[in-house]
Structure 1
Amino acid sequence: MDYRGRRKGKDCLTERTLQSILIVEDHQLSCQGYELIVEQAECKGTIPKVTVQQAHSLKKANQLLIEEAIHFDMVFLDICMPAYPEKDLYSGEDLGRLIVEKQLNTRILVMTSLTDKLRLEEILQTVKPHGFLIKGEVDEYHLISAIQHILKNQPYYSPTIGKILRDESNAEVYLSTDEKKLLYLLSKGIRNKEIGEHLCWSLSKVEKRKRVMHEKLGIEKGNTMALVNRAKELGII
C-alpha cells in the first residue's frame, strides 16, 4: 500500500503557512501539554508563531469547524472521543472524515492511544492524515517534527505507524456510519426492536447487521457486551 502520492494538485504546495491550530482532545491535560510544546517551539523559532485553540468535545469541534466555518491551518485530532450522535460523529475519525469531505484545506495530525493494527489502518484510509502519532510516542521531538514535515507537504508517521505502513499483511476493516450507529445504540442498552425503529430497519436486518459486526470485530456471535466492549477498545464508539 503506497501512501506517498495520495495528496496531489492544489494540496501539494512547496510550503504551507501555519497561523492557527485546533487541538481536538477530551483530556485537558493532554491539550495543555501539546500547547506547551508548541509554545516552546515558537520561542526557539523552530515553528512560526501560531494561535492555538482547544475543543474538548466533538460537539465543540464541529461547532468551530463546520457550523462557524472557522479556518484552522492544522488540527491535532484525537480518535477516542465521546460520541456526538446528533451529527453522526461517533469518534474523532468521523470528524476527520468530515474535514476531508468538506475540503476545509486543513492539515490533520492524528494523535491516538489506539494500537490495534486493523483500526489504525482504517483511520489511515478514511481520514488520510498528514501526520499520525501514537500518544505513547508523542514528545517534543516527534510533535514538532510532525508539524515541520506537514508544513513542507511531507507526511510524518511515528515509528509504530511506520511499521504498520510497511506491513503489507494488514487486513482492512471498514465500518459504515449505520454500523457505528448500531454499535452506539447497543452500547446504550437499546433492544433490537427499538434499534430497528431508530434506524428504520426491520428486526431481521438489525439481527443480520449484528452478526456482520461480530464477524468484522472478531467477536463470538451472540455476545453483545463483548461486541460493545471491543468497539470501545478500538475507539469506534
Structure 2
Amino acid sequence: MDKSNLPKRTILLVDDHPINVDSYQTLLSSIESNKNAEYLVAFDCEQTYNAINKHQINGKNIDFAFIDINLPEYPEKKLFSGSDVTILIRKKFPLCKIIIISMHKEPNWVNQIFKSVNPEGFIAKSDINYKCFPEIFQSIEKNEIYMSQSIKLSQKIMIQKNINWDDYDSKILQLIAQGEKTINLPKFIPLSLSAIEKRKANIKKQLVLNLGSDKELIDVATNLGFL
C-alpha cells in the first residue's frame, strides 16, 4: 500500500516511563493504518499540556491518546494526574479516542475513571503484551469499546456491589437480549412492570452512562460478562 494514501492521524502517547512510550510507539507503528501517523510523546502533565496546546494552536487534531494515569503533576494548570489530562483532551479534541493505561485496577478506582473520563479503551498494564497491543488498537480503531480482562472484572464487581445485582436483574438482561419488549417481561419474571422498569433503569444507569438504547445496554452487558 502506498503510504501517501494512508490517513494522516496523530497519536498522543503519555507515560512517565520513556521505555513504555517507546514500546507503545514501536507496536503502533507496526500497524498498517499507522504508517503515516504523527506521534506526540510526553512524560508528565506539563509536557502533555504543552503538546496539546501547541497542536490545537496549529489547527491540528489528536485522533488517539494513550494516557497513563500516574503522571508527575502540573499544579499551575491544575493537572494532577492522567485523569485530569484526559478531561482536558476531551474538551479540546472531543473526537479523540482516549485509551487509559494504568497499573491500578481496583474496582472503586476503575469506576471513578469510567464516570469522569468514559474512555474508549481501558487497559491494565498487567494485561498488556506485545501480541495483544496492536489488536487492542485495531478494536478501538473500529469504534469498539475495549476493556482488558482485569478492568472488566473490576467493573463487574463494582456494578454488582452498587446495584445489589441478583437473578432478576440477570433475567431482565437475558430477555431483552432475546428481543423481548419490557412491557412483556412480567410474563417471565414474578415482578410488576413498574418494578422491572425501575430495575432496568438502575441497570442502565450503571452500565450505560448516557442512559442509551437497549442495544447499547446489551452490548455493554455482554462486554462485561453479564450475558
TM range (shorter): 0.5 to 0.7
Q: When the two structures are superposed, what TM-score results if normalisation uses the length of structure 1?
A: 0.59
Q: How many angstroms apart in 2 are the aligned matches of 1:170 and 1:140?
A: 34
1:135 equivalent in structure 2? 125
Helix, strand or coil at the partner of 2:40? strand
Supply the AA of the counterpart residue of 1:169.
Q
Distance 1:18 1:76, change over 3 A: farther
Distance 1:166 1:94, change over 3 A: same
Helix, strand or coil at the partner of 2:160? coil
Gaps of 5+ in 2: 1-6, 163-227
Helix, strand or coil at the partner of 1:53? strand
Larger radius of gyration: 2
The one-character-per-residue Cα deviations of 1:190-226 (angstroms, maximum 9, x if unpaired) are: xxxxxxxxxxxxxxxxxxxxxxxxxxxxxxxxxxxxx
Q: How many angstroms apart in 2 are the aligned matches of 1:135 and 1:129?
A: 16
1:88 equivalent in structure 2? 78
Supply the AA of the counterpart residue of 1:105.
L
1:14 equivalent in structure 2? none
1:73 equivalent in structure 2? 63
Among 23, 27, 30, which residue is 1:37 paired with? Answer: 27
Q: Displacement, 1:67?
A: 5.0
1:51 equivalent in structure 2? 38
Aligned residues between the structures: 152
Q: How many angstroms apart in 1 are the aligned matches of 2:64 and 2:86?
A: 12
Distance 1:124 1:18, change over 3 A: farther
Among 135, 148, 154, which residue is 2:138 paired with? Answer: 148
- The two structures, once aligned, show a CA RMSD in angstroms of 2.0
The answer to which of 21-30 and 48-57 deviates more is 48-57
Q: Displacement, 1:53?
A: 2.2
Distance 1:107 1:18, change over 3 A: farther
2:149 equivalent in structure 1? 159
Q: How many angstroms apart in 1 are the aligned matches of 2:98 and 2:26?
A: 19
Task: Please show how residues 130-209 of structure 1 align to structure 2 within 5 Å.
Answer: 130-167=120-157, 168-170=159-161
Supply the AA of the counterpart residue of 1:21.
I
Q: How many angstroms apart in 2 are the aligned matches of 1:104 and 1:147?
A: 19
Q: When the two structures are superposed, what TM-score results if normalisation uses the length of structure 2?
A: 0.61
Q: Displacement, 1:128?
A: 0.9
2:102 equivalent in structure 1? 112
Q: How many angstroms apart in 2 are the aligned matches of 1:170 and 1:144?
A: 33
- Structure of higher RCO (CA pairs closer than 8 Å, 6+ residues apart): 1
2:14 equivalent in structure 1? 24
What is the percent sequence identity of the aligned residues? 25
Q: How many angstroms apart in 1 are the aligned matches of 2:39 and 2:19?
A: 15
Gaps of 5+ in 1: 1-16, 172-237
